[in-house]
Structure 1
Amino acid sequence: MTDIGSGAAGPVEETAAVPAAAAAPATLWRDPEFLKFWSGEAISQVGAQVTTLALPLTAVLTLDASSSQVGFVNAASYAPFLMVTLLVGVWVDRVRRRPLMIMANVGRALLVSAVPLLAVLDLLRIEHVYIAALLVGTLTVVFDVSYQSYLPTLVGKEHLVEGNSKLQGTSSLAQIGGPGLAGLLIGWVTAPYALLINGISYLVSVLTLLAVRRVEPEPVPQQERTGIRTSIAEGIRIIWDSAHLRACALQSGLYNLCWMSLQTVFVLYAARTLGISPGGIGLLLGTGAVGSLVGSMLAQWLKLKIGLGRAILAALLLCCLAPAAIPAAPADNGVLSLALFVAAFGLIGAGGTMANIHIISLRQSMTPDQLLGRMNAGYRFVSWGTLPLGALLGGWLGDLIGLRETLFVTAALFLTAVLVVLKSPVWRLKEFPPQIVAEPRKADAK
């Protein structure tokens, strides 16, 4: 199979990326430039978690928002992942990535700070919260696509697994501690002022990103100018034309479809059938983040022990078999049931994070730098695009056949993600394959 992209040929890109990562030491713990970037990304992740809780609570507690209005706030937060991700990918491939991350965090700081300021002036309306949620979500897309595309030029191919492990670890910590921190801040200073403090955290992140001194290469200029649609198509094409990337994207979409179905139905099952309190449900789901943290620590070790492809397959087996323990548990909230729920969500988190670390590293190592932004955006469009479909599927099946029965069906569907990888060359990989050779495409017809 021929892997096709656009822009300059592969060797030009490899040469261009060397100066950025050449000075990196043997371990990233001793690389001050990565540590600056890592700390800035970690602060941004915590800030995003605080915003996720504080923004809708501002609508509830300050504006007395209805359920439907809170739903609109949450929908506005996630809509950009489907609306603008592919366009952002084109943008990220045409400019340097670190300035985009800095710009995104400055914008998020201003937006989340504007909400409490409007509240103090008694000018805050629910429409302002909708707009803030939509724009913050858009800037989150910009930051996320940029940092995944920036990492290879910062640390080099040899440190991708270590770098992604550290980034996934801080993401897991943010998911564990972010909502709790948001709750403490809201209880201490109320929801609007928690957003103001959160705005300051984004500015601290900006300072750490500004402190990175390793030179980021200029983006490889296109030999012929292409339009937006062609550029987006090239990002999708590089995924489709590669058996490795295509399998990874498909398994990710299937996995996320099943995960959202599981999460949607489990909340109803735990509350209505088992009588578990909302706080208890939150704690059970939170064990997945704890598992994710453990998985981020074990990912590098697993790859060294059994190789890249088998590490991906083993991690997927772990997180795709674990959901079966949830409907198999006794239909009560006894000790055995709770223990099985904790084990299941913990294993889902650990396996999912290990698979994610290796797959992200595989994507980054295979893709030419001039296509990284569009590849990451196209991949995220496929994998995140199935989340609302999973929620609809779980809700529909829950009404049709029952909640526990739907959990059994969903647990079985998880195995489709494993089958996709087994039918692909991914699981046979010992190490990262060669970088895809990008071939130039013709300009748009006039």
Structure 2
Amino acid sequence: EIVGQTFLGGPVGSLTFALFAAFPFLLDSVAFALGAALLAAMSGNYRPRRKEAPGDTASVAATVRTDIAEGLRWLRHNPLLLRLVVIAGLVSLVSELAQAQLVLYALQDLDLSNAAYGAFAFAGGIGGLVGAAVAARLIDRFGGRLTLVSGAVGCGVTFLAMGLVSQPVVSGVLFGLFAAAIVVVNVILATARHTLVPEELLGRVLGVWRTVVWGALPVGALLGGVTTRLLGTPSATFALSGVLLLGVAGVAWFAVRHHEVTPAHRS
């Protein structure tokens, strides 16, 4: 999901846009149409079973409110998951400071052409796939806590370095390393979420989790734009984001230092 949305979708969009401007929008429309066709072809009834009589919208609304409150209440009384939600939100907010400036960084600071930007951003897709491939091995070898903190440190170091260099190839490699590190972090967080949350509460807790993480993205993008305006260059925003991500890594270590984030590996 992360690789497709963040690191592959952008480069493919850039490359298709270079062919003609409407191309990525047409691809998006075709993808949605294909998804709708696949959903329509699924057999079976997937509606949730409720005790209320059909058409009793007031009871259904009350049940939804009860479900949300129960998910929030469970999360509030689980210190580890609550801390992981905060960590995930901080990573999302701070990393988006820089990621929202990626196009400006590539075109202005690295002086890349529009077509070359697609190749540059594609390094992130490759790095994300590498991160997804090695995440489980890193967790098994070093444990979830150390891997989580190390991944956050890797995110910070790579963005800080991107803010200090102006060589396109080096920056592309650093961006790929960032993508690998952020995917490893997200694999750990998702694993912890799915193993620590009871099955009957997973959807409710996941709703809270995604509200925090996805809600942080536009805020981070807005702050990134303001920061670039104040500091003068996207590179400075990348450097600042890197420093802040290192701070988030410190927060993560302090928050989970007495907890094992993921369960021990089972053969």
Summarize the Cα distance change of 1:204–1:290 in structure 2 as closer, same or farther, 3 Å threshold: farther
The alignment's TM-score, normalised by the length of structure 1, stands at 0.49
The aligned amino acid for 2:153 is L
Asked if 1 retains the 8 angstrom alpha-carbon contact of 2:143 and 2:260, the reply is yes
Match of 1:321 in 2: 157
Distance 2:100 2:219 in 1: 11
Match of 1:341 in 2: 171
Question: How far off is 1:232 after superposition?
Answer: 2.1
Match of 2:237 in 1: 406
Match of 1:361 in 2: 191
Summarize the Cα distance change of 1:178–1:237 in structure 2 as closer, same or farther, 3 Å threshold: farther
The aligned amino acid for 1:408 is A
Summarize the Cα distance change of 1:182–1:405 in structure 2 as closer, same or farther, 3 Å threshold: closer
Asked if 2 retains the 8 angstrom alpha-carbon contact of 1:308 and 1:430, the reply is yes
Distance 2:40 2:242 in 1: 44
Matched residue SS, 1:414: helix
Question: How far off is 1:428 after superposition?
Answer: 4.3
Larger radius of gyration: 1
Question: How far off is 1:424 after superposition?
Answer: 1.7
Summarize the Cα distance change of 1:181–1:373 in structure 2 as closer, same or farther, 3 Å threshold: farther
1:252 partnered with 2:83? no
**Equivalent residue runs for 1:155-234 within 5 Å:** 175=9, 179=13, 194=27, 197-203=30-36, 205-206=38-39, 210=42, 227-234=63-70
Write the deviation string for residues 2-48 of structure 1: whole angstroms up to 9, x where unpaired.
xxxxxxxxxxxxxxxxxxxxxxxxxxxxxxxxxxxxxxxxxxxxxxx
Match of 1:422 in 2: 253
Matched residue SS, 1:275: coil
Asked if 2 retains the 8 angstrom alpha-carbon contact of 1:326 and 1:407, the reply is yes
Distance 2:231 2:23 in 1: 42
Q: Note the residue ranges of structure 1 that are not aligned, 5 or more in a row.
A: 1-166, 331-336, 434-446
The aligned amino acid for 1:398 is T
Asked if 1 retains the 8 angstrom alpha-carbon contact of 2:132 and 2:184, the reply is yes
Percent of aligned positions with the same letter in both sequences?
24
Asked if 2 retains the 8 angstrom alpha-carbon contact of 1:248 and 1:359, the reply is yes
1:372 partnered with 2:205? no
Asked if 1 retains the 8 angstrom alpha-carbon contact of 2:124 and 2:178, the reply is yes
RMSD after superposition:
3.7
The alignment's TM-score, normalised by the length of structure 2, stands at 0.78
Distance 1:416 1:299 in 2: 22
Question: How far off is 1:429 after superposition?
Answer: 1.2
Summarize the Cα distance change of 1:314–1:428 in structure 2 as closer, same or farther, 3 Å threshold: farther
Question: How far off is 1:227 after superposition?
Answer: 4.6
Which range moves more in the overlay, 191-200 or 278-287?
A: 191-200
Summarize the Cα distance change of 1:344–1:237 in structure 2 as closer, same or farther, 3 Å threshold: farther
Distance 1:191 1:291 in 2: 23
From 372, 397, 401, the equivalent of 2:227 is 397
Asked if 1 retains the 8 angstrom alpha-carbon contact of 2:157 and 2:242, the reply is yes
Asked if 2 retains the 8 angstrom alpha-carbon contact of 1:173 and 1:293, the reply is no
- Residues matched between the structures, number: 256
Asked if 2 retains the 8 angstrom alpha-carbon contact of 1:169 and 1:293, the reply is yes
Match of 1:292 in 2: 128
Match of 2:139 in 1: 303
